[in-house]
Amino acid sequence: MRVLQVCTGRAQEVTIASRSVLTAIGKRTREGPVAVTVLGLEGDEQADPSAHGGRSKAVYGYPSEHHAFWRTVRAQARVSGVSRWDEALPPGLFGENLVLEGLVEDRLWIGDRLRLPGCVLAVSEPRHPCFKFNAAMGFAQAAKLMVQSGYCGAYLGVIEPGTVSAGDAIELVPGPREVNLRELFRSRARA
């Protein structure tokens, strides 16, 4: 288990469905160690603090194992174009801060800790997609497919601030193992 890439982004105005909205979903890869504070990664912003960010959702991790699925469904939806969001799944496209390897949702439980060389994070909740995710992915059914697949990624709280870098190994320290991340995501999606 490891961090493949670290991504941050600033909120920016974009046009979605003929209206101007603020979003920070399209993040960019960062080099070297990036500072991790209790409120997230240095240089990262969230456009809607009611849905993203804060202490329990300071960092968003997304499994690289799901990229093949998203490339396939985007190809089926004939997504192509000229914007950065239409490229072949650049890191940060999902709004993730950490592209993870080896940590898919059914292996994670609320309260599990991810011990990295420079910080400790805790699984707090699944990410729920909105219309901005559809726009980032380039087709209107993306949020629905995230719900159906359960490929939501994990919001992470910061237990011990420090730094994170691409290539960092991750040790999974089990929490109470009462609520599975994917099961929680699916139960909330049905509500």
Spell out the domain ranges in the chain: 2-190
Residues of the chain with pLDDT under 50: 82-86
The reported pLDDT for the residue numbered 80 is 59
Output the pLDDT for position 136: 87
Collapsed DSSP state (helix, strand, coil) of residue 84: helix
Strands 59-63, 98-101: pairing is parallel
CATH code of domain 2-190: 2.40.33.20
Q: What is the pLDDT of residue 82?
A: 36
The pTM of the full predicted model, rounded to 2 decimals, is 0.93
